[in-house]
Amino acid sequence: MLTIAVDAMGGDLGPRAAFWATKNLLSRYKDVAVRLYVEEQWVREAGDVIGAHDGRLFVIGCGASIKADEKPSVVLKRRQSSSMVRALLAYHHGDAQGVLSVGSTGALMILSRRLLGVLPGIDRPALATQIPTRGKPLLLLDLGASLGASASQLVQFAVLGVAWCRAMKINEPDVGLLNVGHESGKGTDSIRSASCILNRLMPANYRGFYEGDDLYRGDLDVMVCDGFTGNIALKTSEGLTQWLTQMVKDELRAHWLLKLVSPVLKAAFRRIHQRIAPARHGGAMLLGIDGVVVKTHGKSDESTFEHAMRYVVEQARNHDREALIQQIIPMQAAIA
């Protein structure tokens, strides 16, 4: 039985979205158990909504949750009974094989580093997820675990991306560095320095600079950037997807001829939506943390939360710590 620990507190919509997502997940996966961490006053409602599911649900009452604007010192000293800490400790103690949190990204980063540690040779983990493209899925990192990144840290992100891909049986992943142009002289000092290092470190994998409009071409496996750039790129893409989806719906309703053919078109649009809907890509993993830790959007609704939970299950099932470390070790000298 695979068990995931879910920190349900801190989301914009409250913990009820997590309750219904958990109910759906446990109905879908009979070999998965969930340890759901909530503030004490939500324990009874969580149990009532979700049900027992053959003893595969454990609802744990916790202390005050971590607020999005709390300082690191407060998080570390005064929130040891919070749902986020308790979920991470469940992984640390071996009671869960994966962690999902809807809470503060900064707090999750700080606490994951403190409670679980980082992989050898890595000093700054990156938030990463695969996004759909015209070709193969693209692992994009960092998505906001840290806003800035030095040349050394950008190289670490690339190493993490390559190590993760190889652990996932993508043996020779293609890697790009997100920049404002393809030319070698473009970009900040950190980006240009990182490019020089990557050319020496992984000549068989590194493909050079890529621009924002290259994201969805589908010829890369890994795209590296700092957290500020990655977060904006991802959220811009999500906003554009939502707008295009709504525009298609509006057009189908606006014209009588389109209304006649809409039943035929809906099946095609449904398949497209299933590929690109932000809700289906709501989970991002903290690559570099010594464990399986996934962050989902603070604004996650029931659907987004469920897909994030399924993503944690997938990552936990495929996690190979030793394979990751073995991929990082040969590159440690260059990323130190």
Tens digit of each residue's pLDDT (9 = 90 or more) over 105-132? 888 998 999 999 999 888 889 999 888 8
Name which of 10, 19, 8, 6 is nearest 87 in CA terms.
6
Buried b (16+ CB within 10 A) or exposed e, 103-128: bbbbbbbbbbbebbebbebbebbbbb
pLDDT computed for residue 277 by the predictor: 53
Domain count, the chain: 2
- For residues 6 and 60, state if they share a domain: yes
pLDDT computed for residue 297 by the predictor: 82
Give domain status of residue 175, yes or no.
Answer: yes
Which residues in the chain come in under a pLDDT of 70?
72-73, 77, 251-252, 254-282, 332-336
Distance CA 40, CA 27 (A): 25
Query: Which domain CATH number covers 214?
Result: 3.40.718.10
pLDDT computed for residue 171 by the predictor: 85
- For residues 83 and 191, state if they share a domain: no
pLDDT computed for residue 261 by the predictor: 58
Give domain status of residue 326, yes or no.
Answer: no
Give domain status of residue 194, yes or no.
Answer: yes
pLDDT computed for residue 120 by the predictor: 86
Give domain status of residue 332, yes or no.
Answer: no
Give domain status of residue 325, yes or no.
Answer: no
pLDDT in tens, 84-103: 999 999 999 999 999 999 99
pLDDT computed for residue 27 by the predictor: 93
- For residues 239 and 134, state if they share a domain: yes
- For residues 108 and 221, state if they share a domain: no
pLDDT computed for residue 131 by the predictor: 85
Give domain status of residue 299, yes or no.
Answer: yes
pLDDT computed for residue 279 by the predictor: 47
- For residues 115 and 190, state if they share a domain: no
Residue 294's SS3 state is strand
- For residues 65 and 140, state if they share a domain: no
Give domain status of residue 251, yes or no.
Answer: yes
- For residues 59 and 199, state if they share a domain: no
Q: What is the pTM of this model?
A: 0.84
What would the DSSP string read from start to end of 19-53?
HHHHHHHHHH-TTEEEEEEEEGGGHHHHHHHH--T
- For residues 38 and 167, state if they share a domain: no
Range of the domain at 264: 123-284
- Cα separations (Å) of 54 from 6, 43, 96? 18, 18, 18
- In the β-sheet with 2-7, what is the strand arrangement from edge to edge? 57-62, 32-39, 2-7, 98-101, 293-296, 283-287, 126-131, 138-141, 222-224, 175-178, 206-210
- For residues 137 and 256, state if they share a domain: yes
Give domain status of residue 162, yes or no.
Answer: yes
- For residues 96 and 177, state if they share a domain: no
Strand 175-178 to strand 222-224: parallel, antiparallel, or no bridges (unpaired)?
Answer: parallel
- For residues 175 and 275, state if they share a domain: yes
- For residues 305 and 272, state if they share a domain: no
Distance CA 135, CA 1 (A): 34
Buried b (16+ CB within 10 A) or exposed e, 53-68: beebbbbbbbeebbee
pLDDT computed for residue 250 by the predictor: 73
